[in-house]
Amino acid sequence: MSLESETSAQPGRRPGGGSRSDVADKVDAHYHGLGERGRVIVRQLPLSVTVLLVVAAAAVFHPETLADARFRLALLAHTVLFVLSVAVPWGRLPVGAYALIPALDCVAIGFTREAGGPNFSVLSLLLVFPVVWLSVDRNRAGVVLAVAATVLSTVLPAAALGTPPTQGSMIRTIFLPLVMAAIAVTAHVVAGTLYRQRETLIRKDEALADTAAESVRRQQLLDAVLSTVNVGVWVVDQDGRDVLTNKALRTDAALSGPAASASRPRLFEADRTTPVPPERFPTARAAAGETFTDALYWTGESKAGESKAGESKTGKGEDMRAYSVTARTMSSMNGSRSGAVITFAEVTALIRALSAKDNFVATVSHELRTPLTSILGYLELVLDEPGHEDIEGELKIVQRNATHLLRLVNDLIAVASERVELSLQDTDVASLLAGVVSSSRNHASGSGVELVLDIEEPLTARVDPERISQVFGNLVSNAIKFSPDGGTVIARAHRANSHVVCSIADTGIGMDGQEQEQAFTKFFRSARSRETAIPGAGLGLPISKTIVEGHGGSISLHSEPGKGTTVTVSLPVS
């Protein structure tokens, strides 16, 4: 199977080949792979690095501060806290035990600021690190702990070091916790939003992975089916370009492109003589939005040679193959046409078998017609001669049955040849229908069926009166036969534009959808007709169809089980 696809640039791609989301995913995966201890170290590291920078700045600009024992003790506290972050096996402790580190960080920052004096009051900003650390936890207790630790960082150092309260320290004691509380709440809300978004993305990723896995499974199933079936499958887009084909289709070069070429056999119409133009190829028709079922195409080369115009004279070479082609359009989500699926089923053997059957039927029928004609001829001579009055009734029965048999043989010949000889003349079709209805009343009354005639007179058309009467006779006879429990048969005829439309409707047993599809098939009889022993050979509708189509008309059937059947015949006026 071949599959065409197009790739396009992905958004967010960087010149290095990776994407921003790829980098973020790698960082995130690395962070979660560190373990509980590694994550505590990473969270503590920004504050520890900042404290080192503060020490470096103090050594340059205020070396006397480093000589203060209280300042050195505060720095030692920071060192101890970092060592604890590294040394303590946090993964073995209860969940949330690591919150002790940022809480103590707040207190250590307070002592560092208080010991450094007014020059180091800016160190209050370092509270952002532990406050954010505590607040981004999903538990709201982290926000409360962050605010409490901030309050302790302003109150506890002043009390422990005996620093007298000043206006600045009082303002710091009041406003610093308020500011940090605002930061804590904001960080907690933002972190919660990010957590929820992350969970949503994870669920979507899982759903997408499931969908992708299901898509792969379905694709594998489709590949297996397409490579197994003997039916050729061809999918094209709205412009007729190949999207997908299976192996069975690619075995026939004649169906692998939109037009014939020097290396590709021709594609012929059902008559096997007319080359198919490019615009009428199955793919072109399907790409144009046309839907069709069981269209017959022939492929191969003519053995009879080609004419000067480059067209095959007969196209009936023994190496030709027949395909039944069906096409269905595909629609996108917004309802627009997105392409079509075309199937090719090789029916060469079936076509040849049907042809052989028809030839056999025609041959046998011809052989039967000659002796039957002789029998009828001699019967007429016998009936014309005097002296046979005592067996005249029996002779007429023989004549009637021989005539019926001859008519059946003629029907077989007509069905086998799929054409009839017509003698066209201007005829009142309404009068023909009325005559058939009149001659069928005895048959109808014997079956308890009411015959109703509804016609417009006159309805003149150029037809073969004998053949059209045969059609009406078949249809009325069928309507009566398939109304075994009585009912009504209505024969209608009227003019519709340039056609005469006649319909025969009954209230009989009807047919289901599958039986309707086969109603015009030779020798087909419904299961109900066989069960109820309704007589017939299954030739009435096929013969009627051959006759009507020979006139350039059409015949259709509509039926519902238990509600009856309506057969409609449309004949051109001229």
Residue 110, class by beta-carbon neighbours within 10 Å (0-12 exposed, 13-18 middle, 19+ buried)? buried
Q: 455 — phi, psi (to 5°)?
A: -135, 160
CA distances for 13 relative to 27, 204, 224, 225, 280, angstroms:
17, 21, 36, 38, 45
> What's residue 253's pLDDT?
55
Q: What distance in Å separates the CA atoms of residue 102 and residue 368, rounded to the nearest whole number? A: 111
- Considering the entire predicted model, what is its pTM? 0.44
> What's residue 49's pLDDT?
93
- The 10s digit of each residue's pLDDT in 357-407 is 777 766 777 777 778 888 888 888 888 788 777 887 888 888 888 887 877
Percent helix, strand, coil in the chain, to 5, is: 55, 20, 25
> Which amino acid would we find at residue 242?
D
Residue length of the chain: 574
DSSP readout, 213-272? HHHHHHHHHHHHHHHH-SSEEEEEETTS-EEEE-HHHHT-GGGSSSS-BTTB-EEE-TTS
DSSP readout, 293-342? EEEEEEEE--TT-B-TTS-BS----TT-EEEEEEEEEEE-TTS-EEEEEE
> What's residue 2's pLDDT?
42
**3-state SS of 385-444?**
CCCCHHHHHHHHHHHHHHHHHHHHHHHHHHHHHCCCCCCCEEEEHHHHHHHHHHHCHHHH
Please say whether the beta carbons of 314 and 272 come within 8 A. Answer: yes
Q: What distance in Å separates the CA atoms of residue 424 and residue 468, rounded to the nearest whole number? A: 10
Q: What distance in Å separates the CA atoms of residue 551 and residue 424, rounded to the nearest whole number? A: 9
Q: What distance in Å separates the CA atoms of residue 278 and residue 287, rounded to the nearest whole number? A: 12
Q: What distance in Å separates the CA atoms of residue 196 and residue 374, rounded to the nearest whole number? A: 98
Please say whether the beta carbons of 431 and 463 come within 8 A. Answer: no
- The 10s digit of each residue's pLDDT in 49-81 is 999 998 898 888 888 888 888 889 999 999 999
**Positions in the chain short of pLDDT 50:** 1-17, 257-262, 303-316, 531, 533
